[in-house]
Amino acid sequence: MTKIILCMRKDIGLKNRFLGRNGEKIMRGIYKDYDLVKWT
């Protein structure tokens, strides 16, 4: 899901810098316990 969001952001001209390698930081707004989730 995050890869799709990264592609959409790129298409509309937004930068994906600082969103993580696979865009996992995009999910910060969705998950309340983002910092507790182990992203592998």
Q: pLDDT at position 12, please?
A: 92
Separation of alpha carbons 37 and 9, rounded Å = 24
Cα 36–Cα 8–Cα 16 angle in degrees, nearest 5: 55
Q: Where are the domains of the chain?
A: 2-36
Q: pLDDT at position 38, please?
A: 66
Per residue in 15-31, pLDDT (tens digit) is: 888 888 878 777 776 76
Query: 3-class secondary structure for the chain?
Result: CHHHHHHHHHHCCCCCCCCCCCCHHHHHHCCCCHHHCCCC
Does residue 39 register a pLDDT over 70? no
pTM over 0.85: no
Separation of alpha carbons 35 and 25, rounded Å = 10
